[in-house]
Structure 1
């Protein structure tokens, strides 16, 4: 499976009618990005959404970043993965994660201890029965991993890790835990705006939402951010660490920092004043800048 060095992470496709989302996915493929990463949360269901995009494209990888383990049982998760892996060889990457207690409780589930819950879930996936046409090889999976122990589990039980809402320092630490052979594909939010005040205003629309979720806030505490920096949408230092803003060259430098810190692939999430709008112009600008820099595809 060839992800390339740079992919696009986006929720904007979910806010479009299916036909428009499919057109946009085909455009991302034509631009040269190696992968499209889609979330789930309270938007489109992960496997049906992936199918929409896979059938609209020819070779780009579609990855879930992530499919919520509380949204389906392990047998269903394994069946969905194998179904798409067989139908679209080397083009579907399953990323799974434990989500967050507030989101899980809204589904009517009790939120278990993340590490224990994920380990048991993987155990059940690995022995799940699948009486259907299967892919020739066991398809790859990655884990949403932030803390050291979840990264260790990703190293031992998956193809690698997909950390979200992380600074470059986390990439360095994650690579040290994963070792040299596992995929490390961090998400990197970006704002193509050179004015600091305007850029940070857009960035804080993003950071203020995610800082309310305990898993992300706790991870940033581990990385040295104090309580004052976590409040009011994040300090300038925190915002600048999480969101790369400025010109396409500025974004390119941040991508290079992740790659130099040990990432194989960086998932770019474009932030704008309207998160529901397709950032086509920004995607095109980034393709022209980032893909020209890119070295040969990872993995």
Structure 2
């Protein structure tokens, strides 16, 4: 069966994405902001699925509010939806926005999968690999009967086959997953890394061949002073870097010494001390902050080093529109 697959990223298009829903305002009030994005130069909106909204509903609304935007999930966990349900959700949105949808999946974390959803967080590499292989077949309309290592599917054939089939990206941090994203997906989704760290992770993805997409969620706090930005950034960093998968990621990136004191104090229950132990230079590397023009230049450094699609994630605000306008690409 020959299947047409939508292009991951138009090489003539310089992508500039935004994470939705926007924090700080109700989603029903975000239409006016999203409608304005294409005129400002934004090309993409990317959703996520952790402890707030689901990944697909915001994109479905955005697809009608701004019909030119590309829509991406970053990410949908591969554990919390069954394989067939995940394929059906993706096919529905891909059919509603032909050629404009990118399915980003990932293993998520033990907190979300196991503690919040009661699903064993077992063999994440194999689960990601098996899900990618299943999605390739299912989204193409093939009948799937297969015993994968981490789940079994018997006799599934999608009743809705999108044309074109959406590309699939895999969230990845360390070499094994990054190589898997390049080998069996259309690219990778990364986050919580510096612009310079992109040079470390991108080659693993690009081993899989030319044209791989690398989308990055980049946390941006524009227009506030350095002390306030760093205080907010420290809280965000501590919340993530004490999750095992992110700790291992930054050990791989070479930040063991930078985070040693924070990890020790956090384990001892000294939360205040742990936050204070995070060096300024680490916050400045992982959180984009400062004047909007400087923030734009910082995001562009990610792209210079190998990110093809930045997905800016803004600090919550009562009115994010001024920030979004200020961060619009040149």
Relative to the length of structure 1, the TM-score reads 0.87
After superposition, give the CA deviation of every residue in 1:256-298 in whole Å (9 maximum; x if it has no partner).
2212211112121122xxx3645221111111xxx11xxxxxx
After superposition, give the CA deviation of every residue in 1:77-118 in whole Å (9 maximum; x if it has no partner).
111112211221122111111110011111010001221111
Corresponding position: 1:279 with 2:323: no
Structure 2: runs of 5+ lacking an equivalent? 1-6, 139-155, 267-273
| CA spacing shift, 1:73–1:278, aligned 2, 3 Å | farther
After superposition, give the CA deviation of every residue in 1:22-69 in whole Å (9 maximum; x if it has no partner).
333223233221111111101112122321221222111121111111
The equivalent of 1:44 in structure 2 is: 53
Does structure 2 retain, via aligned residues, the 8 Å contact 1:21–1:53?
no
Using the alignment, how far apart are the partners of 1:278 and 1:209 within structure 2?
Answer: 25
Corresponding position: 1:173 with 2:200: yes
Using the alignment, how far apart are the partners of 2:322 and 2:132 within structure 1?
Answer: 40
The equivalent of 2:145 in structure 1 is: none
Structure 1: runs of 5+ lacking an equivalent? 293-299
The equivalent of 1:116 in structure 2 is: 126
Corresponding position: 1:219 with 2:249: yes
The equivalent of 2:113 in structure 1 is: 104
- How far did 1:18 drift? 3.9
Relative to the length of structure 2, the TM-score reads 0.80
- How far did 1:73 drift? 1.0
- Structure number with greater Rg is 2
Q: Please give the secondary structure, in 2, of the residue aligned with 1:71.
A: coil
Using the alignment, how far apart are the partners of 1:11 and 1:220 within structure 2?
Answer: 27
* C-alpha RMSD of matched pairs (Å): 2.1
Structure having the larger proportion of residues in helix: 1
The equivalent of 1:185 in structure 2 is: 215
Using the alignment, how far apart are the partners of 2:65 and 2:212 within structure 1?
Answer: 29
| CA spacing shift, 1:173–1:31, aligned 2, 3 Å | same
Match for 1:240 among 268, 278, 284? 284
The equivalent of 2:141 in structure 1 is: none
Q: How does 1:247-262 map to 2 (within 5 A)?
A: 247-262=291-306
Corresponding position: 1:22 with 2:52: no
Question: After the TM superposition, which of the residue ranges 106-115 and 116-125 deviates more from structure 2?
Answer: 116-125
